[in-house]
Amino acid sequence: MKSLVLALASLVAIYSVNCDVYFEEKFPDDSWESNWIYSEHPGKEFGKFKLTAGKFFNDPEEDKGLQTSEDARFYALSRKFEPFSNDGKNLVVQFSVKHEQDIDCGGGYLKVFDCNLEQKDMHGETPYEIMFGPDICGPGTKKVHVIFSYKGKNHLIKKDIRCKDDVYTHLYTLIVKPDNTYEVLIDNEVVEKGGLEEDWDFLPPQKIKDPEAKKPEDWDDRKTIPDPEDTKPEDWDKPEHIADPDATKPEDWDDEMDGEWEPPMIDNPDYKGVWAPTQIDNPAYKGPWVHPEIDNPEYVADANLYKRSEICAVGLDLWQVKSGTIFDNILITDDIEAANERGEALKKTLEGEKKMKNEQDEAEREKEKAEKPEDEDDEDLDDEAGDAAPVEEHDEL
């Protein structure tokens, strides 16, 4: 038993040693200004970030992050770190987003780059490895982007993942595994998972329709056919409309002035519609013809869809109509458990924010109530009195 415990302890130690945190940023102070680089790409009106915990928070220092500060601006800010590859390892990209401004239209995602990134020239068309995070624009777009670059082309996930659209901090986590599977989590809860090959269009389909195959000329896919023995009844054909038999010529009708009078037409109650023979089961029915498939000669399996040969930069490259989004707690690692632990700890932030926001809202309501003019209260009372039912007077007996 003792040897088993020691073996397990050794495995845990080996696992811990082999797990890496490649990049982590919590924006504790103003040092970010010297580590992160703004883009100076021409032709874009870029906005600035500021360090703040926002209007409501759990901890005024711990909850500080970078907040967009100018409306109707592009934002482009990035930081490089020691390059790595996730070859044979998990890849976890995690960060928190707080749309404190009740966002109407704007991005809340980040991008992961290789070392070719020119930070001062970063813009919307700059190649990236992964784009991940929420995007909101009006009631129609409230989704989580998961986009991978593969052979020079960006591939969007085929599934629709809904993001959070309230004003609180939420944690977004993307896990990519060496077996070509993935998970997307929001606040440490899995909201989507699957396979990279199935849920993206990285590769052409494995099977295609056989171009040589054609539907046989004698293939009968009619489930029913007209009954050949059914005949139309002799009294079937009736006009759809007939002259109203109850109509009479108006007394003031002048044939010379008004023309020859004709009674109005009405629906014929005896009209039966267009006759068609009844349908019977087709004795020659073979079912729907299915086009046979063959192996696609252009399909080549790729066991390394997950692999990013080089990652060494992360950036915020987005547009916002109304500013106020706070980005924080950026983590890039191969340690799923470490990411999960940080996620659990961040739940306290969400609880604290909600408590403080509720207190602020209640204080605002009390303030508005206290500032309400007295004559307005009197008018309300008068209105209530006026709306009351009149009291009937009765003579005393």
In the chain, DSSP finds a helix count (H) and a strand count (E) of 6, 22
The answer on whether 207 is annotated among ligand-binding residues is no
What digits encode the pLDDT tens for the residues 343-386? 999 999 999 999 999 999 999 999 888 888 766 555 555 555 55
The CA distance from 70 to 382, in Å, is: 47
How many other C-beta atoms are found inside a 10 Å radius of the C-beta of residue 60?
A: 10
What digits encode the pLDDT tens for the residues 278-306? 999 999 999 999 999 999 999 999 999 99
The answer on whether 135 is annotated among ligand-binding residues is yes
**pLDDT at position 380:** 56
The answer on whether 30 is annotated among ligand-binding residues is no
Cβ(16)–Cβ(333) below 8 Å:
no
Q: What is the mean pLDDT of the chain?
A: 90
The answer on whether 150 is annotated among ligand-binding residues is no
The answer on whether 111 is annotated among ligand-binding residues is yes
- Domains, the chain, ordered by start: 17-203+303-358 (2.60.120.200)
Give the SS3 label for residue 336. Answer: helix
Return the closest-CA partner of residue 119 out of 316, 359, 363, 373. Answer: 316
pTM for this predicted structure: 0.77
**What confidence category does residue 258 fall into, taking pLDDT thresholds of 50, 70 and 90?**
confident
Cβ(313)–Cβ(115) below 8 Å:
yes
Q: Please give the helix or strand (H or E) that residue 365 lies within, else none.
A: helix 336-371
